[in-house]
Amino acid sequence: MKLLAGVISLLLSTALLLTGHGMQLTLLPLRAAGAGLSELVIGISASAYFFGFVVGCFGNPRLVARIGHIRAFAVYSALMVSGILCLDLTNHWAAWLALRFMTGASISGLYTVIESWLNSQARPESRGRILATYTFITLTAMTAGQFLINVGPVSSSVPFTVAALCMALAILPVGLTRRIAPEPVESTQTGFKLLLQRSRSAFAGALLSGLVTGSFWSLGAVFARRYSESQFDITLFMSIAIAGGALVQYPIGWLSDRVDRRRVLVLLAVATLLSSVGVALSAGTPWFLPVVGLFGACAMPLYAIALATAADVAESHEFVTLGTSVLMLNALGAAVAPLFLGPLMTQLGATALFWAFAAICALFGMYLLLQLRAPRDVPVAAQTPFGVAANDAAPVAFEMDPRTQVDTEKPDNAATPPA
């Protein structure tokens, strides 16, 4: 408790903010579908959100450095509140694209403020515990946001107002704190070529995670709406998938510390393929929701394992760059996939979403399986511990990761690009 006392106001603001954010991630596709917008438009608007996130990662550090963390938090929160209220006022597709791009850039800025602030307050011996608390709050708040959608019909202004209220209230704990804000954050730098040279498996795993989980966030609620008009059923569908991923995140991490992480990526790709087929075939049956939970358990850990795989082959001074590259690949995959999967759902039906997930996983699974044939420079005993950084949401989080504090020994032949 003494450890968390210094960041309690920030964590409270984070909980309120992500409750509202969790609401909007599911609420917006549902409103769009109810307003008659096609899956193509819904997919493009989701892509606009993720493109905004990527652009924000590069531009937000300069704004935070210019005006400070507290003012930046207030500015980004105001933009988020304005964005969701404006989305409630219009169903015009062009306005949705612009507003979703703005909210993507804004949430990226908020993650930058939150994670850099936590980083400044954490000592080397406490980083893991602070990150674990932050991850728990993130998952809990996002799940709570799913159920809060049921405060009113999606067609009404009530859930939009509640989401905006949560985001507005998030300004208060940070705005009233007497803690000194941290130093400005550094600009984001990526190294896709370096990541590909260091670990082709991590590169492929990060992209696969974005293609599947990003599309699920964007179009999962639209899929569920095709099989149930009940708003509660739809939010339950999303919540069970999130909960499935949360429950297995650390058991999968524990397993990946004890075997070649490339094998874990192959296992997750195959399991996601099978569970995607299961979701597509079980729609409308009594065992539908358990299979959805299994899908979440298989797909959600992909990002964290890809990040840990990159960490295994990174020197301490490379971890921030490689970690940021994993994050950006994940976001780019999430931005591109809905552009194709939305029209696919329109042409072939809602289950096309999960059949497409199965096809993507089959393709990436074969590629990842081929990487196992190449020798790996890092033996299992020398792998970096999975740790607790399974939910990094902005590039600055990698500076807080305990793995940046220790220069893990690499074998003499570490210059050879591993798989």
The answer to whether residue 415 is domain-embedded is no
**What's the confidence (pLDDT) of residue 394?**
58
The answer to whether residue 417 is domain-embedded is no
User: What's the predicted TM-score (pTM) here?
Assistant: 0.84
Q: Which of 136, 199, 121 is nearest to 399 (CA)?
A: 121
Q: How many domains does the chain have?
A: 1
pLDDT one-digit tens code per residue, 369-383 = 998 887 666 666 666
The answer to whether residue 418 is domain-embedded is no
Residue 16 above 90 pLDDT?
yes
pLDDT one-digit tens code per residue, 182-210 = 666 666 667 788 888 888 999 999 999 99
Mean pLDDT confidence for 355-362: 97
The answer to whether residue 365 is domain-embedded is yes
pLDDT one-digit tens code per residue, 306-345 = 888 887 777 766 667 787 888 889 999 999 999 999 999 9
CA distance 123 to 84: 36
On whether the CB atoms of residues 138 and 14 are closer than 8 A, the answer is yes
More confident residue, 326 or 169: 169
Long-range (24+ apart) CB contacts under 8 A made by 147-155 are 147/235, 147/239, 148/19, 148/23, 149/23, 149/26, 149/27, 149/30, 149/231, 149/235, 150/231, 150/232, 150/235, 153/231, 154/27, 154/30, 154/31, 154/34, 154/231, 155/31, 155/34
CA distance 293 to 239: 9
pLDDT one-digit tens code per residue, 146-160 = 999 999 999 999 999
The answer to whether residue 303 is domain-embedded is yes
CATH number at residue 257: 1.20.1250.20
CA distance 231 to 282: 19
The answer to whether residue 413 is domain-embedded is no
Question: Which residues form the domain of 88?
Answer: 2-404
The answer to whether residue 419 is domain-embedded is no
The answer to whether residue 333 is domain-embedded is yes
